[in-house]
A and B are shown apart, each in its own frame.
Chain A
Amino acid sequence: MNLLEIENLSLSIGDTPILKGVELTIAPGEVVGLVGESGSGKSMTALTIMRLLPHLARAEGRVAFDGIDILGASEDQMCALRGDDIGMVFQEPMTALNPVKTIGEQVAEGIRWHTKASRAEAEERARKILDRVGLPEAKFPLSRYPHELSGGQRQRVVIAIACALKPKLLIADEPTTALDVVLQAQILDLLRDLVSENRMGLLLISHDLAVVTEMADRLIILRNGEVMEAGDTARTLSEQQHPYTRELALASTHVPARPKPHLAGSAKPLLEVEGVGRDYPGRRKSLFRPAQPIRAVDDVSLTIEPAQSVALVGRSGCGKSTLARMILALDKPTAGTIRFRGEPITGKPESTLKPARRDMQVVFQDPYGSFDPRQKVEKLVAEPLHLLEKPPAKAERREMVAHALQEVGLSQRDMDKYPHEFSGGQRQRLSIARAIITRPKLVVADEPVSALDVSIRAQILDLFAELNQKLGIAYLFITHDLTVARAMADEVLVMHEGKIVERGRAAEVLDHPRSEAAQALVAAAPDLHRAIARKMQEQG
């Protein structure tokens, strides 16, 4: 008998249809992957199973969990199910935990609520489950607060809360999207083990086809609230019968065409970073001893040539974003020098940096946070123009903005809109338009595609490649996503704990990593082709 059966589920919020006739089943011990892009209704499906839908949402159809009719159940019945028989893991480990309660309390809370166990019993069980998810009490006492843990550790606590009562079904909504690849691999291993130990059903929701392929027995591909294709993972992805499945698979492994590859050593370096370090003041351990500084970046040297595309890869917290900020002269190094076009930019006052800033722009990760919500596109995209010797007049400025918008594939009519009127991908295009409007020689892109859906991601990568070919812009891509590095970079630098531990031609480093840090990254990175091949063997 199936654990969860969803038949012909339709959901609408107000007049907007969200889900249309969704069918889904999960058997005990089975991992089902729910794949789709943003707005496809993945999260809403999960919330329907938990019946945590927003107000005004109306669900029709049948959702049966373990013989209980979810849509018809009373709120009391649902309260008894949630956290007991159905557990849920959310994407953002930062916000899924209560910052003012210790991890022990938060795990024990659910146990006490559902089992009426005594405080001591609940604590004992909390200790056990935390130990199971890889947070042994010796190293991580129950009295730790969430802010004392790293992102990956926090996600383990969230999993511990969800699995504390050995639920029959676990729903994991993008459980690893906020983590770097190495942590992602660890968390996925943990989930896989928990499933086989407890014969738990797992509904894994993700936009990342490679992750789901590695994990799931069966796949359900969702688009605009409708199931496009469903079936065994291996068969679905090897045959790719549905055009949308094919589209997703292609987009996930997309490598943009760059007909004119960069030849190393062909020109004088554009950017030279020499022995750069950055210390942050550490926490004082004693009143009488000076605080030990924290070294975020340690003796880093690199060069970028004109039109060269370099990827700086590393795990989160390895210092890559700090390095990027120093290259952009937004942060001052505590050691070393950075030269741009042969001139040092370190230690110079802001007023003399204008020419350098003009030729060096930036694209950030978060297309939602990188625009002032109260300004119109024209003003936002034109922001770097005041770096020009002679800032253009209004008419000329509009002209330039229109041109930049066209270059990134937007229309000049978009000039008078506000950022919230655009989708994530469009905003990232705006971000790129803003970066190229002064015709820079170097663009630093900090995780430029990691917040985007796969199909949008492929388009943005194409755009980066096109601008590189057309305008000869050099790139520094900062990323933890090796597929971006593989697709875009001529050279790859691997950063680990503030140091550059490996560098070389992209294909070489990614196929034959030598350093331990690079090997760990490569081994942990989800790879669609590899995952499909493995599934083919497993499922015949």
Chain B
Amino acid sequence: MTLRVDLPEETLAGVLAKAFGNRSFLIGLIITLLVVAVALLSFVWTPYDVTRLVIADKTQAPSWAHWFGTDHFGRDILSMIMVGARNSIAVALVAVGIGMGIGVPLGAVAAARGGIVDEALMRLNDLVFAFPALLSAIMITAIFGPGAVNAIIAIGIFNIPVFARVARAGALAIWPREFILAARAAGKGMTQITVEHILPNIATLLLVQGTIQFALGILAEAGLSYVGLGAQPPMPSWGRMLFDAQTRMVTAPWMAIFPGMAIVITVLGLNLLGDGIADILDPKSRRRR
């Protein structure tokens, strides 16, 4: 007979046990939660007011009063990073939402209908994919004007083909399975089968892709802000802080180091989280990391 190694039963307790045995998931989760907590905290409290300019305190090195130092207007860098986290998370989250909300249905329809519909949708996808993301984002913000909302839309649009592809590929692997045939023999239509059988079976795939796109969204937001097309001053954002730090790299390196680290750590955390989720939910991977 075939060798059938029994998979561990996928109960909630089993998944949780696996989750806490997975190092990359744990570290990723802790970092991500920390970033989110900092962003939430910034709504009620920051060490200093980020909109008040204190020219007397400008470009101070890190000290007990200003842990991460101050910028060229005397604003507290730590406070700005805290408020900036808000902005980064909001932009990336909504952009992932847009990508999933439009991309997944498109991909599912393409897989379900096949033929000409599939072909048309996927070629349209390729078209969007072919534009360098940042360039098109610049185009969109150039037309509609810079600002956080337009940045969200621009990044969101570029998430659509990513999710459409992942959803289509996942769905195509599920469609030929016998349980789909059984559902069709039970008279269920394309939509019903997609909602009841396809989506739950590709959910983990989408979740993993979601965390990756979330991390990329944060990077994209920083990039747009850096070229002045993201959140507008006085709203602090990580990308803009890097831009401001650029000319003062030698005299005030802390202005670049801390926002840069914020970006790196957040993206790293999300990537670890995504990796971890993929490991945990894949019944075939039983290795620990």
A contact residues vs B (CB 8 Å cutoff)? 37-39, 42-44, 47, 54, 91-92, 174, 177, 205, 207, 325, 328, 330, 350, 353-354, 357-358, 360-362, 364-366, 369-375, 383-384, 386-387, 418, 420-421, 431, 434
The size bracket of the interface on B is 20 to 34
Query: Would B2 and A372 count as touching, CB distance under 8 A?
Result: no
B179 touches A371 (CB 8 A): yes
Q: Which chain A residue has the least Cβ–Cβ distance from B184?
A: A330
Q: How far is the CA of A336 from the CA of B78 in the complex (A)?
A: 77
Which residues on A sit within 8 Å (CB–CB) of B58? none
CA distance A330 to B4 in the complex (A): 31
Given contacts A54-B5, A207-B1, contact A362 B200 (CB under 8 A): no
- On whether the beta carbons of B201 and A383 are closer than 8 Å, the reply is no
B residues near A350, Cβ cutoff 8 Å: 187, 189
Beyond A330-B181, A364-B181, A372-B197, whether A387 also contacts B187 by CB under 8 A is: yes
Task: Assess whether B182 is interfacial by the CB under 8 Å rule.
Answer: yes
Of residues 164 to 178 in B, which have CB atoms within 8 Å of A's CB atoms?
177-178
A372 interface neighbour in B3, B9, B201, Cβ under 8 Å? B201
Say yes or no: is B10 at the interface (Cβ < 8 Å to chain A).
Answer: yes
- Is B188 in the interface zone, CB < 8 Å from A? yes
The answer to whether A364 and B189 have CB atoms under 8 Å apart is: no
Contact between B189 and A357 (Cβ–Cβ < 8 Å)?
A: no
From known contacts A370-B179, A420-B7, infer whether A357 and B186 are also in contact, taking CB-CB under 8 Å.
yes
B183 within 8 A of A: yes
Please determine whether A420 and B9 come into contact, CB atoms closer than 8 angstroms: yes
B62 CB to nearest chain A CB (Å): 50
Q: How far is the CA of A372 from the CA of B9 in the complex (A)?
A: 15
Report yes or no: A353 in contact with B182, Cβ–Cβ below 8 A: no
- Residue pair B178, A421 in contact (C-beta under 8 Å): no
7 smallest beta-carbon distances between A and B, as pairs: A384-B186, A357-B187, A370-B178, A369-B178, A38-B1, A362-B185, A383-B186
A238 to chain B, nearest CB (A): 26
**Taking the nearest CB of chain A, how far is it from the CB of B285, in angstroms?**
14
Give the docked Cα–Cα distance between A326 and B66 (Å). Answer: 75
| Inter-chain contacts of A47 with B (CB < 8 A) | 3
Q: By the criterion CB–CB under 8 Å, are B2 and A92 in contact?
A: yes
Question: Across the two chains, which residue of chain B brings its CB closest to A205?
Answer: B1
Min Cβ gap A367→B in Å is 9
Complex Cα–Cα for A177 and B3 (A): 13
Closest to A174 in B: B1
| 30 contacts across the A-B interface (CB closer than 8 A) | A38-B4, A43-B2, A174-B2, A205-B1, A330-B184, A330-B185, A350-B187, A350-B189, A354-B187, A357-B187, A358-B187, A362-B185, A364-B181, A366-B178, A369-B177, A369-B179, A370-B182, A371-B179, A372-B183, A372-B200, A374-B201, A375-B196, A375-B197, A383-B186, A383-B188, A386-B187, A387-B187, A418-B10, A420-B7, A434-B182
In the bound assembly, the distance between CA atoms of A372 and B197 in angstroms comes to 7
Query: When chains A and B are docked, how far (Å) is the Cα of A174 from the Cα of B7?
Result: 23
Interface string of B1-18 (1 = CB under 8 A from A): 111110101100000000
Q: Which residues of A contact B4 (CB under 8 A)?
A: 38
Known: A43-B2, A373-B201, A431-B182. 12 other contacts (CB 8 A): A47-B3, A174-B1, A328-B185, A360-B185, A362-B181, A371-B179, A372-B179, A372-B197, A374-B200, A374-B201, A387-B187, A421-B9
Assembly CA distance A39 to B1 (angstroms) = 8
Shortest Cβ distance from residue B256 to the other chain A in the assembled complex, whole angstroms: 47
A358 to chain B, nearest CB (A): 8
Report Cα–Cα, A358/B188, bound state, in Å.
11
Q: Are A364 and B9 also in contact (CB < 8 A) when A43-B3, A92-B2, A384-B187 are? A: no
Question: Can you name the residue of chain A whose Cβ is closest to the Cβ of B174?
Answer: A372
- Contact call A386/B185, Cβ cutoff below 8 A: no
